[in-house]
Amino acid sequence: MAIETVGIVGAGQMGNGIAHVFALAGYRVLMNDVSEPSLAKAIDTIDKNMERQVSRGKISAEDKAAALSRIATTLTLADLGQTDLIIEAATEKETVKQQIFDALLPHLKPETILTSNTSSISITRLASRTDRPEKFMGFHFMNPVPVMQLVELIRGIATDAPTYAALHEVVKKLGKTAASAEDFPAFIVNRILVPMINEAVYTLYEGVGNVKSIDESMKLGANHPMGPLELADFIGLDTCLAIMNVLYDGLADTKYRPCPLLTKYVESGWLGRKSGRGFYDYRSGTPVPTR
């Protein structure tokens, strides 16, 4: 399974980061989104992030130019059908992901591998709706993709050994480390991380501490580089809530019940950094706790 071309569905924070690392590793990348401004913004973000790497001596200006030349964009999802590997990096909603794979199926080469960057949704269930469950895997990158070293590889119940081996090799070529996870809700990282964030929100909800004291306690008391509420804002509160709901629904254990305050923030549209407000207000340029 020689992989040379990669199709990426979604040009948001995860999609453009994935495009960035694949292009630098020598793959030809075709990135798809539903709007031209989203694609233009993604290319601009990749350009700026690569320029930061150049300024820090991580890559050369020639590396950057070559990588950017390997990235193309398209508004037509069907165009991705002729790539060797497709990575779906759309919003964390199963219905949306299913619609994307349904639309792709008629256009795929027989050997194309399908993957999802989902952080929590069942790979077996997503794969079962396609014509190639044996060539379907979870390919979960961490955010921000150019910086974080881990990639979770999640096999569905039908995933075959050559598909797993091919993606394991891809991760090595990207210069990252693969962690193999079984296909259970939220896999490894988010099974541990997001309930911790949810517990921090409960600590805020119950008045045990305020935003500042909770984050400072975990940074200085547990040596975390970022407090859990600051991290929730970085991930996106809607994503955190979606993962908690997957855990709660999939494992039927009350310890995964999403905190009502987290739900309230999402209902208000305060989703974190991307919306300007979450547990912190970012609109002035300096983060200010909202509680």
Catalytic residue among 38, 116, 120, 190: 190
pLDDT digit string, tens, across residues 111-138? 999 999 998 899 999 999 999 999 999 9
* pLDDT of the residue at 206: 98
Return d(Cα 129, Cα 127) in angstroms, integer: 5
- Both 75 and 167 in one domain: the answer is yes
> In the annotation, is 168 catalytic?
no
pLDDT digit string, tens, across residues 152-173? 999 999 999 999 999 999 999 9
Domain end, chosen from 156, 181, 206, is at 181
Domain assignment of residue 221, yes or no: yes
Give which of 281, 192, 185, 286 is closest to 229, Cα–Cα.
281
Which H or E run contains 198? Answer: helix 189-205
Domain end, chosen from 130, 164, 181, is at 181
Alpha helices in 25-175 (DSSP H): 36-55, 61-69, 94-104, 123-128, 161-173
Distances (CA, A) of 209 to 206, 268, 288: 8, 22, 16
Residue with tokens 């987290």: 262
* pLDDT of the residue at 202: 98
For 218, counting Cβ atoms within 10 Å of its Cβ (0-12 exposed, 13-18 middle, 19+ buried), the class is buried
Domain assignment of residue 288, yes or no: no
**Position 267 confidence tier, pLDDT thresholds 50, 70, 90:** very high
Give which of 174, 193, 164, 156 is closest to 29, Cα–Cα.
174
Domain assignment of residue 168, yes or no: yes
Q: Which two tokens stand for residue 41?
A: 């913004």
Give which of 240, 259, 261 is closest to 186, Cα–Cα.
240
pLDDT at residue 102 above 80?
Answer: yes
φ and ψ at residue 199, rounded to 5 degrees: -70, -35
pLDDT at residue 241 above 80?
Answer: yes
- Both 159 and 227 in one domain: the answer is no
Residues 6+ apart with CB under 8 A from 46: 16, 19, 20, 23, 68, 71
**Position 229 confidence tier, pLDDT thresholds 50, 70, 90:** very high
- Both 159 and 73 in one domain: the answer is yes
- Both 77 and 177 in one domain: the answer is yes
Give which of 279, 249, 274, 248 is closest to 261, Cα–Cα.
279
Cα end-to-end span (Å), the chain: 52
Catalytic residue among 88, 92, 122, 152: 152
Catalytic residue among 119, 120, 122, 198: 119
- Both 57 and 176 in one domain: the answer is yes
Q: Which two tokens stand for residue 250?
A: 């999939």
Return d(Cα 220, Cα 117) in angstroms, integer: 32
Return d(Cα 4, Cα 210) in angstroms, integer: 50
**Position 85 confidence tier, pLDDT thresholds 50, 70, 90:** very high
Domain assignment of residue 290, yes or no: no
Provide the domain count of the chain: 2
pTM of the model: 0.90
Domain end, chosen from 123, 155, 181, is at 181
> What's the one-letter identity of residue 284?
S
Write out the residue range of the structural domain in which residue 239 sits: 189-283
> In the annotation, is 190 catalytic?
yes
Q: What is the CATH number of the domain that holds 135?
A: 3.40.50.720
| Cis omega (within 30 of 0) for bond into 228 | no
- Both 162 and 221 in one domain: the answer is no
Q: What is the CATH number of the domain that holds 250?
A: 1.10.1040.10
Catalytic residue among 32, 120, 140, 198: 140
Q: Average pLDDT of 78-100?
A: 95
- Both 210 and 163 in one domain: the answer is no
Give which of 215, 213, 250, 217 is closest to 229, Cα–Cα.
215
pLDDT at residue 282 above 80?
Answer: yes
Which H or E run contains 175? Answer: none
* pLDDT of the residue at 92: 86
The SS3 assignment for 108 reads coil
